[in-house]
């Protein structure tokens, strides 16, 4: 759903030519479905952040916000990220008031996007005056989030408290993402478990766990996500047969999953392990090897 993009397109032709030229440059970027505001692209947005452009985009986003969007899938995330990133360069009073309301107000949609604002506000070329306000909010929030509780139990402190992640993939046998040496029967029986956790994302979710037999013609899949707005996602698996996983008691969930699927996941050596810079990889490996029993 590209509702915000459509609003921008419908309204931009009324702009004065100099402003329209800048807005068209912005529009041509965000109309591409794969557009993403990374560290390189946010720098390029700075040259488009003229006061008239910011005023126009603020009006567009306020029009967009008139419709309540209760689910993440209802949001035009591509356009929203880009508009927020561009507006982050503005110091106009109306734009600052808009951001302040997002941070301290009671918007029902606030949890969807605050992690995006934090990444933009902290960027070295932005240095937004509300960065400390947003960091303070996340400092308090992180005390309640399970991924931070787990890291404390593991004795690990992320280098960047607000931008870190760990991804672990386990497999019951064979190799990850390859059919080398597997018979058709074995391909039907191969399962992977992927565990991702880190700093807050959409809806302030900090972890996701997915189990599937991706090589099988008789597909089975179940995915749990903290604070998911769509619930547990399943394919040919009954979610009623699983308890909601507790990241700090992952050993119990592992046993439950193995019993349900009638298999055993290899934990001596994960099929894949990725950690952000500054996170103790060896400590994570030891935790996995102990089948997620905490030290």
225 exposure class (CB count in 10 Å sphere: 0-12, 13-18, 19+): buried
Condensed to tens digits (0 to 9), the pLDDT of residues 210-234 reads 999 887 778 888 999 886 655 677 7
Q: Give me the sheet containing 221-225, strands edge to edge.
A: 233-235, 221-225, 207-212, 192-198, 165-171, 272-275
Condensed to tens digits (0 to 9), the pLDDT of residues 10-62 reads 999 999 999 999 999 999 999 999 999 999 999 999 999 999 999 999 999 99
Question: At which residue do the structure tokens 């760990």 appear?
Answer: 166
Single pTM value for the model = 0.83
> Is residue 103 within 8 Å of 70, Cβ to Cβ?
no
| DSSP H stretches of helix in 122-224 | 131-142, 146-154, 184-189
**CA distance linking residue 170 with residue 150, whole number of Å:** 19
Condensed to tens digits (0 to 9), the pLDDT of residues 70-87 reads 555 568 889 999 999 999
Q: 233 phi and psi, to 5 degrees?
A: -95, 130
């Amino acid at each position: 759903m590209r509702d915000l993009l459509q609003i921008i397109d419908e309204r931009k032709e009324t702009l004065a030519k100099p402003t329209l030229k800048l807005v068209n440059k912005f529009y041509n970027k965000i109309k591409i479905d794969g557009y993403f505001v990374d560290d390189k692209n946010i720098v390029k947005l700075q040259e488009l952040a003229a006061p008239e452009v910011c005023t126009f985009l603020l009006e567009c986003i306020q029009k967009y916000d008139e419709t309540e969007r209760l689910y993440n899938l209802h949001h035009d995330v591509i356009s929203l990220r880009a508009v927020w990133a561009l507006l982050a360069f503005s110091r106009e009073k109306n734009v600052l008031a808009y951001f302040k309301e997002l941070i301290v107000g009671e918007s029902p949609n606030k949890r969807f996007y605050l992690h995006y604002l934090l990444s933009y506000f902290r960027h070295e070329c932005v240095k937004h005056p509300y960065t400390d306000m947003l960091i303070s909010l996340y400092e308090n929030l992180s005390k309640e989030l399970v991924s931070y509780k787990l890291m404390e139990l593991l004795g690990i402190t992320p280098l960047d408290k607000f931008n870190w992640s760990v991804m672990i993939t386990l497999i019951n046998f064979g190799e990850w993402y390859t059919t080398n040496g597997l018979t058709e029967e074995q391909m039907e029986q191969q399962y992977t478990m992927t565990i991702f956790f880190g700093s807050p994302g959409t809806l302030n979710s900090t972890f996701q766990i997915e189990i599937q037999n991706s090589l099988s013609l008789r597909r089975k899949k179940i995915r749990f996500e903290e604070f998911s707005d769509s619930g547990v996602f399943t394919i040919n698996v009954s979610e009623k047969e699983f308890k909601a996983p507790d990241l700090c008691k992952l050993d119990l969930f592992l046993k439950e999953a193995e019993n349900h699927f009638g298999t055993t996941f290899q934990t001596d050596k994960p099929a894949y392990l990725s950690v952000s810079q500054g996170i103790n990889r060896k400590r994570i490996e030891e935790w996995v090897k102990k089948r997620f029993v905490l030290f």
